[in-house]
Amino acid sequence: MKIKIAISPCPNDVFIYSGLITKEIATDEIEWDFTFLELEYLNRAAVHKQYDVVKISYAHFPRVQKDYQLLPCGGAMGRNCGPLLITGGNPFDANLEILIPGQYTTAHLLLVTYLQRVLGPQAEKIKKRFLPFDKIYSALQANPSAQGVIIHEMRFTYVGDGLKLVQDLGENWESQTGFPIPLGALVMRNTLSDFKSLIESQVRKSLSWAYSNSNQALKLCRQHSQSMDESVLQAHISLYVNDFSRDVGSEGNDAIQFLLRMAQ
């Protein structure tokens, strides 16, 4: 059976699934057909049921749960790894718009949580604009008055690029809830329930293969992240690929359920 799967081209995703992408991990029962999309396009694809298995934002799951179910592996969750609210250099101004990497992302939900805490009812008046995450970073670099939420590798580069931190949104989440940060979820079409155990096993075997064959896995990551500095690529994988990637466990499940109640 061919399974259409969509993930992001970010190093953490490519590393986790490298064993399946290279077909080093294979089974006669499943043929994996990979597509690489940026986060907001992954979220939209799930709405339209374009893929059998897809990586989405945890905050987006309530909108697709009638068709998909969460898998306990292959996602992105952790501590000290949340999105950052950044300015182009000037102090934060609540009267200016905030650039956000997707309406239905966990980054947006964590921003709303933070703004509600510090601004109260005034948070509803904040102007927002949703852009791809790389365009947000370019806007922040070009305009000192720009302010936006950055994700992925940008957290490792913003200081060197002269940008200023307003708030670590993940730190705000952790201090308020005590939970790790549920960022990206791997979801599977409900119609594939009979294959759930096999799919989970394949994802975990792929991650084990990546750790055991890190040179090959990292080479694949570089192919999908050609413009990324080597040290940033390594830091990205080290931060976002962790024990939660193999199994979210009870602590991760508690964090997920808390975030989903907020999202709903």
- Enumerate the active-site residues: 152
- What DSSP line would sit under 26-91, residue for residue? -BTTBEEEEEE--HHHHHHHHHTT--SEEEEEGGGGGGTTTTEEE-SSSSEEESS---EEEESSSP
Among the listed residues 163, 170, 200, the one whose alpha carbon sits nearest the alpha carbon of residue 71: 200
Q: Are 1 and 31 in contact, with CB atoms under 8 Å apart?
A: yes
Spell out the residues 6+ positions from residue 73 whose beta carbon is closer than 8 angstroms to its own: 186, 200, 203, 204, 207, 245, 246, 247, 248
Rg, the chain, Cα only? 18
- Asked if 47 and 63 count as a contact pair (C-beta separation under 8 A), the reply is yes
**CB neighbour burial string for 93-119, b if at least 16 within 10 angstroms, e if fewer:** eeeeebbbbbebbbbbbbbbbbbeeee
